[in-house]
């Protein structure tokens, strides 16, 4: 059982973030136990050839038999716009002794691939992760990031509609929130109670989780990694859903986009989902936006679209 205890001030300091390094670290569990992560099997198949040239000895040694990973692979992101180069640079500047200590905290002993000097082991790990990113994440990251950011927008809407407590209780089936205590059952055999104590608390949606995860070391900045909504749709091409009368009015493509925009999405994400070019999606979204049927909100470098009240009313008729 894991409990995070909040003060009223701590609750006002809850933030969301996206961490590319977290995604890579969690994805290593998929490499080790692919059968436990069926939603990401298409990603494994698409990247199989690219992984052949990677330093898999080091990458797989970062995960133990419980599928735990060292805390340096789960850094607390500063924002939903964290960049992988910045995270790898921070990792490279990490104390080599702390690097080794965090690996030992997971494995109980130092695995053979890290048996060289701590500084060399750290440098080899950073190089392996950098190559792993370029080969298996960089081509797909815009799509992944769109799904993660759409999840954050959804959580923000839930806070506005039902309050913070309701949103926190919906993060995962084994998470509950009451009396300023966030309870996670179970994450690991230890019974842990952690005071947030003004350190801030970050919620991090991920593509490679089935349940929630937290830091191994209680002294690390408090954060909770949870499975993002829509992560299973990463590789799916949707069959456009339409409402016949609306399709006759708007055309099938625009009607399908209007139906899909029940949840916020970017033009890049919609292009992947419907197997059309981003430029074509943008053209349709501009027309829907001009007609007041969708709203547009800039979110970092992306623009997220959402069905408006007028669009909802049109579908309801």
Distances in whole angstroms, Cα of residue 40 to Cα of each of 30, 33, 97: 8, 11, 34
Q: What is the DSSP annotation of 127-138?
A: HHHHHHIIIIIT
Q: pTM of the entire structure?
A: 0.75
pLDDT reported for residue 29: 94
Radius of gyration of the chain, Cα coordinates, nearest whole angstrom: 21
The pLDDT tens digits for 231-242 are 876 666 555 555
More confident residue, 140 or 235: 140
Q: Could you tell me which residue, 189 or 305, shows the higher pLDDT?
A: 305
- pLDDT at residue 301 in the model: 67
More confident of the two residues 232 and 49: 49
- Span 238-295, pLDDT tens digits: 555 557 888 888 888 898 899 889 878 888 778 877 778 888 999 999 999 999 999 9
Q: What is the pLDDT of residue 300?
A: 66
Between 156 and 244, the more confident residue is 156
Percent of the chain with pLDDT over 70: 95
Tally the residues of the chain.
317
Residue 123 in this model has a pLDDT that exceeds 90: yes
Residues 6+ apart with CB under 8 A from 293: 258, 307, 308, 310, 311, 314
Pairwise CA distance, residues 234 & 172, whole Å: 20
Q: Tell which wins on pLDDT, 235 or 20.
A: 20
> What pLDDT is recorded for position 126?
97
Residue 262: per-residue pLDDT = 84
Report the pLDDT averaged over residues 22-40.
Answer: 92
Predicted local confidence at residue 62, as pLDDT: 96
Q: Tell me, rounded to whole angstroms, the distance of Cα 161 from its chain centroid.
A: 23
Q: Which CATH class is domain 237-316?
A: mainly alpha
Residue 26 has pLDDT above 80, yes or no: yes
Which band of pLDDT confidence, cut at 50, 70 and 90, is reported for residue 78? confident
Boundaries of every domain in the chain? 2-15+144-232, 19-140, 237-316
Quote the CA–CA distance of 15 and 226 in Å, as a whole number: 14
Number of neighbouring beta carbons within 10 Å of residue 8: 7
Q: Each residue of 166-216: pLDDT tens digit?
A: 999 999 988 999 999 999 986 667 889 999 999 999 999 999 988 898 888
């Amino acid at each position: 059982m894991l409990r995070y205890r909040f003060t009223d001030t701590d609750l006002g300091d809850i933030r969301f973030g996206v961490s590319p390094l977290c995604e890579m670290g969690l994805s290593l569990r998929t490499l080790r136990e692919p059968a436990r992560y069926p939603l990401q099997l298409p990603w494994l198949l698409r990247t199989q050839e690219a992984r052949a040239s990677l330093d898999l000895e080091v990458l797989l040694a970062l995960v133990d038999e419980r599928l735990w990973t060292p805390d340096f692979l789960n850094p607390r992101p500063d924002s939903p716009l964290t960049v992988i180069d910045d995270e790898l640079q921070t990792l490279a500047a990490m104390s080599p002794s702390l690097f080794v200590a965090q690996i030992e905290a997971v494995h109980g002993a130092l695995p053979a691939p890290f048996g060289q000097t701590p500084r060399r082991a750290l440098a080899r790990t950073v190089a392996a992760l950098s190559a792993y990113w370029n080969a298996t994440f960089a081509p797909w990251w815009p799509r992944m990031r769109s799904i993660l950011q759409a999840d954050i927008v959804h959580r923000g809407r839930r806070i506005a509609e039902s309050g913070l407590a309701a949103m926190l209780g919906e993060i995962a089936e084994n998470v509950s929130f009451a009396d300023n205590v966030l309870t996670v059952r179970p994450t690991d055999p230890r019974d842990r109670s952690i005071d947030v104590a003004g350190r801030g608390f970050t919620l991090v949606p991920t593509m490679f989780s089935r349940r929630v995860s937290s830091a191994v070391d209680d002294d690390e900045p408090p954060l909770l990694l949870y499975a993002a909504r829509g992560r299973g749709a990463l590789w799916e091409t949707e069959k456009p859903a339409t409402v016949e009368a609306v399709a006759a009015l708007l055309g099938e493509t625009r009607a399908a986009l209007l139906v899909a925009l029940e949840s916020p999405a970017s033009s890049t994400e919609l292009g992947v989902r419907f197997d059309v070019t981003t430029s074509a999606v943008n053209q349709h979204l501009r027309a829907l936006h001009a007609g007041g049927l969708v709203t547009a909100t800039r979110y970092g470098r992306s623009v997220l679209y959402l069905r408006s009240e007028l669009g909802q009313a049109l579908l309801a008729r």
